[in-house]
């Protein structure tokens, strides 16, 4: 009986200890939230950042002063160079942020000398990277000089979005090219039929669905699907021909990729200069200020991350204490 009362007391002590930590954590989060909200409110009033007139309070601007005027009072030599980074995944999820930053660049075209975009992407969905391409094409159409830097890969959709650049700079072993289109579908129609499942597909329109995972695939459907891929491939090649003058379209649109150094040695004209982005930006920063633009992270997501980490810590402490009292699952 005495041991039971002792165990109960120990458990209550553990829970009170955990409760104290919960109250402390949520108190700290409340204070952090108030600070973040105040900072957000202040940011919303700021529209002139580092010499740029920003359209959105989400835009973050950081200036890197040119090397030749650091430590002195020498005036800037010409307008600054804007820098944007794009890290692409299969669905090009950063394209919306890219669109916002392109708006800022075009709005400030009289305040900058050019834009450098550092692209990293193996490619992905056609419409998504088509959107990214269209956003960078807006920069070109606005009369702003555009350079693209590639450190590791700008292939397929990643290369597509880089095409509007006046100049493409790539590290020696960065992959470029892969100018092609691919689609793969696992079809289970025959397997389902064998086990007694009859997949039914209802469409209105002869080619509404041609190749699916469960429907029957006809020769006519496969031919139509292949035709769609061929048309996309042709459009991709046409853009390469438009922006990369002197390129041999038949040679570079085979779907192959090359290292940047190899593409130069073979005379493919897929890149204009061999250099890493750090090297190129360092050189550009010699006599021009660099203005790096990015999108601020949502303060709410930061708070959620803090809350999650705090709760995990409390759970770990409670579990450890209960385990030490002999209470286990």
pLDDT for 111 beyond 90? yes
- Tell me the range of 10-24, 206-220, 233-247 where mean pLDDT is highest: 233-247
pLDDT digits (tens, 9 = 90+) for 141-159: 999 999 999 999 999 999 9
Percent of the chain with pLDDT over 90: 57
pLDDT band at 74 (very low <50, low <70, confident <90, very high): low
The DSSP output letter for 156 is T
**Mean pLDDT computed over every residue of the chain:** 84
The DSSP output letter for 198 is -
The DSSP output letter for 69 is G
Lowest mean pLDDT segment, chosen from 44-53, 125-134, 136-145, 267-276: 44-53
Please report how many Cα atoms fall inside a 13 Å half-sphere around the Cα of residue 187, on the Cβ side: 12
The count of other CB atoms within 10 Å of the CB of residue 196 is 6
91 and 125 in contact (C-beta within 8 Å)? yes
Catalytic residue, chosen from 14, 121, 156, 263, is 156
156 is catalytic: yes
pLDDT band at 44 (very low <50, low <70, confident <90, very high): very low
Task: State the sign of the Cα–Cα–Cα–Cα dihedral 217, 219, 221, 224.
Answer: positive
Fold (CATH) for 59-175+256-295: 2-enoyl-CoA Hydratase; Chain A, domain 1 (3.90.226)
180 and 158 in contact (C-beta within 8 Å)? no
User: According to the model, what pLDDT value does residue 326 have?
Assistant: 44
Residue 117 backbone dihedrals phi, psi, to 5 degrees: -110, 125
Secondary structure (3-state) at 325:
coil
Q: Rounded mean pLDDT of 224-230?
A: 92
Of 100, 95, 105, the closest CA to residue 143 belongs to 105
pLDDT band at 51 (very low <50, low <70, confident <90, very high): confident
pLDDT band at 85 (very low <50, low <70, confident <90, very high): very high
Lowest mean pLDDT segment, chosen from 111-120, 166-175, 221-230, 257-266: 221-230
pLDDT for 309 beyond 80? no
User: According to the model, what pLDDT value does residue 39 have?
Assistant: 52
pLDDT for 287 beyond 60? yes
Higher pLDDT, 3 or 250: 250
135 and 165 in contact (C-beta within 8 Å)? no
Please provide the distance, in angstroms rounded to a whole number, between the alpha carbons at the two ends of the chain: 22
User: According to the model, what pLDDT value does residue 68 have?
Assistant: 83
Inter-helix orientation angle 126-141/95-107, to 10°: 10
User: According to the model, what pLDDT value does residue 325 have?
Assistant: 45
Residue 28 backbone dihedrals phi, psi, to 5 degrees: -65, -40
User: According to the model, what pLDDT value does residue 6 have?
Assistant: 54
pLDDT for 285 beyond 90? yes
Domain ranges of the chain: 2-41+301-324, 59-175+256-295, 179-255
DSSP for 88-128?
A: --TT-TTHHHHHHHHHHHHHTTTT-SEEEEEEEE----HHH
pLDDT for 207 beyond 90? no
pLDDT digits (tens, 9 = 90+) for 313-326: 555 554 445 444 44
pLDDT digits (tens, 9 = 90+) for 175-199: 999 999 998 888 888 888 889 888 8
User: According to the model, what pLDDT value does residue 255 have?
Assistant: 95
pLDDT band at 11 (very low <50, low <70, confident <90, very high): low
pLDDT digits (tens, 9 = 90+) for 89-99: 999 999 999 99
Q: Rounded mean pLDDT of 111-122?
A: 97
pTM for this predicted structure:
0.76
141 is catalytic: no
């Amino acid at each position: 009986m005495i041991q039971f009362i002792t165990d109960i007391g120990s458990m209550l002590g553990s829970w009170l200890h955990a409760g104290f930590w919960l109250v402390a954590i949520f108190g700290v989060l409340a204070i952090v939230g108030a600070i973040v909200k105040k900072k957000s409110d202040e940011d919303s009033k700021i529209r002139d950042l580092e010499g740029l007139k920003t359209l959105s309070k989400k835009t973050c601007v950081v200036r890197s002063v040119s090397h030749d005027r650091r430590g002195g009072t020498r005036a800037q030599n010409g307008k600054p160079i804007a820098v944007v980074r794009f890290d692409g995944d299969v669905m090009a999820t950063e394209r919306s942020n890219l669109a916002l930053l392109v708006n800022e660049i075009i709005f400030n075209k009289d305040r900058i000398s050019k834009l450098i975009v550092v692209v990293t992407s193996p490619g992905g969905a056609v419409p998504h990277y088509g959107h990214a391409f269209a956003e960078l094409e807006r920069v070109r159409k606005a009369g702003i000089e555009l350079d693209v830097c590639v450190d590791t890969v700008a292939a397929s959709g990643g290369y597509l979005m880089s095409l509007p650049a006046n100049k493409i700079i790539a590290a020696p072993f960065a992959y470029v090219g892969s100018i092609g289109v691919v689609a793969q579908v696992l079809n289970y129609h025959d397997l389902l039929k064998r086990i007694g499942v009859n997949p039914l597909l209802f469409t209105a329109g002869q080619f509404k669905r041609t190749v699916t995972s469960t429907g029957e695939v006809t020769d006519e459907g496969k031919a139509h699907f292949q035709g769609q891929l061929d048309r996309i491939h042709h459009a991709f090649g046409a853009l390469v021909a438009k922006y990369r003058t002197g390129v041999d379209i038949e040679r570079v649109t085979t779907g192959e990729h090359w290292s940047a150094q190899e593409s130069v040695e073979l005379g493919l004209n897929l890149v204009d200069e061999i250099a890493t982005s750090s090297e190129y930006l360092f050189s550009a920063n010699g006599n021009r200020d660099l203005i790096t633009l990015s999108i601020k992270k949502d303060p709410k997501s930061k708070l959620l991350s803090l809350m999650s980490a705090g709760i995990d810590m409390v759970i770990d402490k409670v579990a450890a204490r209960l385990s030490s009292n002999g209470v286990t699952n």
